[in-house]
Structure 1
Amino acid sequence: MKYSTKFAVLLLTLAIGLTSVSTDTLAFAKDNSDRKTYTLSPRVGKKVAKIYDLYAADKIDEALVLALEIKPKKPYDKAYMAKFLGSMYAGQKGKGKEAIKYLQASVDADILSTNEHGSAIRTLADLQVQEKLFEDAVKNYKLWMEFTGKQDPKVYIRIGVAYMELKQYQNVIAPADKAIELQSAKPEDSPYRLKLGAYYENKNTKKAIEVLEVMVELFPAEAKYWAQLGQFYMLDERYEKALETMHIAYINGYLTTKSQILVLAQLYTNNMIPYRAAALLEKHMKAGLIERDERMLKLIASSWHQAKELKKAIKFYGEAAAIENNGELYYKQGTLAFELERNRDAIKALKLALEDKKLRKPDNAMFTLAQAYFYNGQYKTALKTMRTVQKAKTKSVAKNAGVWVKYIKDTAKRRNVTI
């Protein structure tokens, strides 16, 4: 297996613990002032030097073979080589468990120098997260902080991740808050996302909202947080706040998916702003984000209808109806056209509605059709149609039809029209 020279140097650095001085916040550390310092025995030291030469020549596999051939006898030599091998295996795909075995042996020996031992614990914990050994990882991250006295926000975040994976959501908040505290000068979103996830899993909507409110303030350019905040407001039934948030997100270009646009349209409708809902849906249908199907066309038509934009509603009801020859939608189109005195359009739509055998109110549709014929000056056809309506099963409609039959006759007679 080949590694780059740069990666080889990184592995060696991990192995011998020659990390740079950390600027991590210091905690109360274990007193290591009296910890003894050892050196490698000459025999092992010579072989380690040869391993370095192989690394420098980019002969990584040969270096690993040589390292495995070393059979150290002294406790320090054993711990050193265990850490060395663990660090080498850590860089190989699929060798995580092997790396953990060696690093655990090194940590258990507790004989390496302060820097070496701390490095071994940290690497061991990182690998345990990688291998989904989350309980062990949490234990060793805490051990690393206790031993070194350092508080690294990334470690607190990894502890939080481990608790999330263990579904111990109540334990996620404290390490996430500690990471936030340590990153206060330059906030990152990772610990906030951990808190959000924990509160969501615990069904604590109000706390999740509090986190998201902070997130949109700290990371205003992150579009997803605006959409999430709006959706959480909806879960909490705070619809005005949801609309305010989603509207701001939209005008800033943060809503880019179909589902987000549909949520905003629904919020406009729920907050009695159907005009904006219709305009929004129509715009994004034209742009291709929203599919042009019966359901979406019907939704646009309904929104224009609620907004009293009847001409636009007639247009979209007709387009929606035509997709599946939906009689109900043709009926709505016809009644609105009749309301606007567009009698020819009403006649056309109502005739199509009556072709649908599943139409729920055929008597009403026939009655309105007869009226449309009448107001379109087609008295003979109006009379014939209204006489048919007189036989309707719906008694109230049939009764009204009787009144209209007389009215049609009287009007035709008054205007000298033979029917």
Structure 2
Amino acid sequence: MASPRYTLIFAALLVLVAPASMRAQTPATPQISEALSAEFGKLRELTEAQSYATALVSIDRLLGVAPADSYDRILLSQVKAQILLSQGKYADSISPFEEVLRLAERPGYLSAAAQTDTLFLLAQLYQQQASESKDLAVQRKMLASAATYLNRWQARTPNPTPAGQLFAASLYYQQSTLVPEKIDSTLLASSRAAAEAGLPLQLKPPASLYVLILATLQQSEKHLESTDILELLVEQNPANSSYWQQLSATYLALAGAAKNEREADRYNLRALLTLERAQARGFLVSPKENFNVVALYLGLRQFDPAIALLEKGLSDGTLENTRRNWELLANSYQQSQRETEAIAALEKAVVRLPEDGQLEFSLAQLLYGRTRVADARRHLGFAVKKGHLDKPGQTRLFLAYTAFELQDYADAAAKAGEAANFDDVKKDDLVRLKKAIDDALRTRVSATSKS
């Protein structure tokens, strides 16, 4: 925790403060007492030895006898606050710093610059206490105190400063989002305005200002404006994977909210290009993110690059070895009128996922479509044996139909009987198949008797 100019007050005091007998006595200059002047040497030794606990005990003892509005009191409060600050005891340092401000109103007690810096420091200290608390009421109170000190600091600082604008934007954002379900739009706008006002104050504004502007836009669901900030952030900080991730997600959100296919395609293309730019730098290369690239190509109806990525990913492990991915590969081949390669893909899939019956079912469908009924029947048998089927009854019914087409009526009847035990089979379908089997069997018997 630091203030722009508030540095080691105690060290400065030890240099400047001399015994009263050695200093010129003028009515305009506040004086410390002889008793306190004698104690400063001891306090110097304690702080140099880092015996802060003992030093604080001595300071509290001296504060106990110091007159309420004396110069002794402001000096002791300054030293106490600085020691607590150096120990990281930020909450404990607030009270002595506030005492310093109270006494600073007396002529000559504290320079105007030091008063201004103390106001800024107190605003920071209160904001930190709000960040560390889990109690909403405490957070609200601490942030209100921080805002009060910030306002007082701003009143004394006519020209905006980079640190001041960054802190103001951060504080207003924290206040505006204190209750996530009830965003304060006025404070949110103030946060954005403060951050934007800080941009021209430096030749190279810090990323934190842009991040705060981005946060306000995201809270307001201004996705298109958010992409402008994110594009700037990835240009300035291309090694930050979070920015790439947010940018691609924002383009996807815009695509999802698009009013027509052309607009959706435009934003999906931007999302795709963002992912590829990130991957070229070594980011967003997990199997999940690789799948997102495939999905975007498919959504844009670009089947050839999708096929290439699916083949590569399923081969080298950069895509997950899952039924979904194998079926996507087969479907992409089909969309490209490459039926033979679609079948080959699923033939690989059933080897790579030997316990997945649903893949066997999908393969059987493709084989059946190519009039390879015997092969379809064989893989349907594997599907039933392996299980893990989306529609186990329909699979058995399909198997019964293939047996029927191959004139294995006994097996067709048996499989139809098994299918009847499942809720996913329509009764009418079973009735029609059973009738066809009975008719075929009567025809066969009749033909046999005639011969």
Give the TM-score, by structure 2 length.
0.68
SS at 1:220 equivalent: coil
Q: CA deviation at 1:134?
A: 1.9
Contact 2:374-2:402 within 8 A present in 1 as well: no
User: 1:102 maps to what in 2?
Assistant: 96
User: 1:334 maps to what in 2?
Assistant: 364
Q: C-alpha distance in 2, partners of 1:291/1:258? A: 6
SS at 2:407 equivalent: helix
Q: C-alpha distance in 1, partners of 2:154/2:56? A: 31
Q: Does 1:358 align with 2:365?
A: no
Q: Does 1:52 align with 2:44?
A: yes
Q: CA deviation at 1:192?
A: 1.3
Q: C-alpha distance in 2, partners of 1:150/1:84? A: 30
One of 163, 172, 180 as aligned partner of 2:199:
180
Q: C-alpha distance in 1, partners of 2:283/2:76? A: 53
Bigger CA drift: 334-343 or 84-93? Answer: 334-343
Q: CA deviation at 1:190?
A: 0.8
For this pair of structures, how many residues does the alignment match? Answer: 366
- In structure 2, the CA distance between the partners of 1:144 and 1:292, relative to structure 1 (3 Å rule), is same
Q: CA deviation at 1:88?
A: 1.9
User: 2:347 maps to what in 1?
Assistant: 315
Q: CA deviation at 1:123?
A: 2.0
Contact 2:31-2:71 within 8 A present in 1 as well: yes
- In structure 2, the CA distance between the partners of 1:147 and 1:321, relative to structure 1 (3 Å rule), is same
Q: Does 1:140 align with 2:149?
A: yes
Q: C-alpha distance in 2, partners of 1:12/1:51? A: 18
Q: C-alpha distance in 1, partners of 2:352/2:37? A: 82
Task: Give 5+ residue unaligned stretches, structure 1.
Answer: 1-6, 19-35, 372-381, 410-419
- In structure 2, the CA distance between the partners of 1:387 and 1:259, relative to structure 1 (3 Å rule), is closer
Match of 2:407, as an amino acid? L
Q: CA deviation at 1:310?
A: 0.9
For residues 359-400 of structure 1, what are the alpha-carbon distances to aligned partners after superposition, in whole Å with 9 as ceiling and x for unaligned?
4354444445666xxxxxxxxxx22259948x975399859x
Q: C-alpha distance in 2, partners of 1:50/1:125? A: 32
Contact 2:8-2:82 within 8 A present in 1 as well: no
User: 1:244 maps to what in 2?
Assistant: 273
Task: Give 5+ residue unaligned stretches, structure 2.
Answer: 14-27, 131-141, 178-186, 256-266, 417-427, 445-451
Match of 1:216, as an amino acid? V
Contact 1:233-1:239 within 8 A present in 2 as well: yes
Q: Does 1:231 align with 2:254?
A: no
- In structure 2, the CA distance between the partners of 1:56 and 1:301, relative to structure 1 (3 Å rule), is farther
- In structure 2, the CA distance between the partners of 1:395 and 1:53, relative to structure 1 (3 Å rule), is closer
User: 1:33 maps to what in 2?
Assistant: none
User: 1:118 maps to what in 2?
Assistant: 116
Greater relative CO (CA pairs within 8 A, separation 6+) = 1
User: 2:127 maps to what in 1?
Assistant: 129
User: 1:261 maps to what in 2?
Assistant: 290
- In structure 2, the CA distance between the partners of 1:12 and 1:156, relative to structure 1 (3 Å rule), is closer
- In structure 2, the CA distance between the partners of 1:368 and 1:343, relative to structure 1 (3 Å rule), is closer
Match of 1:96, as an amino acid? Y
User: 1:69 maps to what in 2?
Assistant: 61
Bigger CA drift: 56-65 or 273-282? Answer: 273-282
Match of 1:174, as an amino acid? A
Give the TM-score, by structure 1 length.
0.72
RMSD of aligned Cα (Å):
3.9
